[in-house]
Amino acid sequence: MAVFSSNSVRQLFVANTSGTGGSGQYSGAAKTVDNELYLKFTNALGQAVISPRIPISKIKSTSSKAYAAKVLRSDTIAVNTAVVGQTYNIRIVFRNWGSGSAENQYFKYTGTYKCKTGDTVATIMNSLKDLAVKNFAREAVPLLTFGLAGTAASATMTTNVGVTATAKNIGTAGNAITLAIASVSAGAAAVTVTGNAISVSLTTAAKTIADLKAAIVASPEANALITITGTDATAVSAETTSVALTGGTTTGITITEVAQPWVVGKQQGRPLNYYFQFVPITDSTGAENVAWGTVTSVAKAYAGQGTYHLAADQEYFYLGERGDKYRNVGFPYTFDTTYLVDPTKLYDTIDITYSSADSGAVGVENDLRVITVLCANGTSSAIAKLIASDVNTATGVTTIPVAPAA
């Protein structure tokens, strides 16, 4: 399960809305005659509850963090050289495999491709991508997805200039696709696919670009190869000479992390930790080459801030400080806790850190405590701003920044 810092005590409250009369609401801030601050909420049963009283003079720090989306890691690998007779393979090393230790590693390979006469770096990249897709399909839990960087091949037909065919997939492989319209007076619409050659027959009653699109979509083989664009109502003529798609390029292999399984309190769904190694080849000079590829980072992994998964994990973990100490201990003889974090919402976070005693005290007499409020992001972080404004008014100073920091 996810584990978070708690100092001595951290009390967490969820504010999905503001007001009274419902559950999971923020109801205001107040100051006592002893110069202590407290926040008012309603719990999952709609009952009024208050935070621990915070000695205003003992507030050490505050923070207000805005929601930020989770980012999945993405990289592009470009092959720099094609050496005939050499085998190309990429090793992907997953660290912290099944644990928090970097020593626990899992090694996975894209698969091996042997460079042949006439192969280009694009050929190698196309092949390594296809091998990786097949190899990683064996994983019980998906880890990475593979694709190609570059451009998709396309062509405008010669007679039917209003028809453009575009390869479904990026890469040079699209340059092998051809398209012909064999007839527009056939007894029934039909699509024939031989390798990468597509031939379409339409009927006299249905021979518009819309009909051509429908025929392609209805054929699983053709639909996997191309997409047709053009004005639907335009009539199509027979064009028996095949038109070849051109312009497809492969500039790299795209590798994107897959979000890992998450179950509150059980599976954390943390980002994968991995790096790439190029299995050595012998270059044209006879030297060993381990730098035949270049890795370019497209997006760095980021767990996010205030996402549903993180917020739900925080609520589950910190309720161990208040009212849900044993959680699932003794399963199946457990109590079902009603949680307030809403899967349809995103959350800003407010933290108030304070000490419980005189500044000169040591040990447990001066322990640091934290109150955390998960504020439904809503419109322009309205709840977080309301809480900050109320606290600042109650304390008479700017205790919490009104605008959550990104």
Q: What is the pLDDT at residue 363?
A: 59
Residue 153 has phi, psi (to 5 degrees) of -70, 150
Confidence category of residue 377, pLDDT binned at 50, 70, 90 = confident
Average of pLDDT values for 379-396? 87
What does the longest C-alpha to C-alpha distance in the chain come to? 95
**What is the average pLDDT value for the chain, to the nearest integer?**
91
Helix (H), strand (E) at residue 48: strand 48-50
- Backbone region of residue 85 per phi and psi (left: phi > 0; alpha: psi in -120 to 50; beta: other values): left
CA distance 260 to 73: 12
pLDDT(361) > 60: no
- The model's pLDDT over 262-274, given as tens digits with 9 standing for 90+, comes to 999 888 888 999 9
Average of pLDDT values for 196-224? 97
Residue 386 has phi, psi (to 5 degrees) of -65, -45
Confidence category of residue 3, pLDDT binned at 50, 70, 90 = low
Q: What is the pLDDT at residue 5?
A: 66
DSSP assigned state of 381: T
Nearest to 246 by CA among 159, 128, 164, 130: 164
Confirm whether pTM is higher than 0.85. Answer: no
pLDDT(15) > 70: yes
Q: Hey, where are the domains in the chain?
A: 74-150+249-299, 156-166+173-244
CB 14 within 8 A of CB 4: no
Nearest to 387 by CA among 19, 68, 11, 4: 19
CB 345 within 8 A of CB 105: no
